Structure 1
Amino acid sequence: MKEITASMAGTVFNILVSQGDNIELSQQVLVLESMKMEIPVESTFSGKVMEVKVNIGDFVNEGDVLVVIE
């Protein structure tokens, strides 16, 4: 299993993938909002989404696991 983690603290603004989706390297998986800026989070792997660990509106810290990829 591979994990996509938050590169900074912020609030989950939008989730662009669902469990079971196949994703490509560098594909946007979600959007964080921090200091009124929208920050896209891109996949660092290609594979299948096994689990989305966050919901819209959740606050995450740097390093928190956002999405698990197989």
Structure 2
Amino acid sequence: MELKSKMPSKIESLKVAVGDTVTKGTEVAVLEAMKMKNPLVCPVDGTVKSIAVAVGDRVKPGALIMVVE
């Protein structure tokens, strides 16, 4: 499953690393938009396969954040 940004945001923090096992509802990142911090929550159980961003990156709507399989 690809986790993507829903709005223009800055990557505030990443809570997981490649290879980590996550469960549905796990907070995997925090995105900042309009001075509000928005948690990115994983919608499925799985393993983090890749992370496409780094802390401090600015992303557009629809930008890939990470892949969980």
Q: Who is 2:43 aligned against? A: 44
Provide the rounded CA distance (Å) in 1 between the counterparts of 2:3 and 2:44: 8
Structure 1 gaps, min length 5: none
Residue correspondences, number: 69
Q: CA deviation at 1:52?
A: 0.9
2:3 matches 1:21 = no
What percent of counterpart residues are identical?
A: 32
TM-score when scaled to structure 2? 0.94
CA RMSD of aligned residues (A): 0.8
The normalised TM-score by structure 1 is 0.93
What one-letter code is carried by the residue in structure 2 that aligns with 1:65? L
Residue 61 of structure 1: how far off its partner (Å): 1.0
- The one-character-per-residue Cα deviations of 1:16-55 (angstroms, maximum 9, x if unpaired) are 0000000011111100011111110101111000011100
Uncovered stretches (5+) of structure 2, i.e. residues with no partner: none
Tell me what 1:56 maps to. Answer: 55
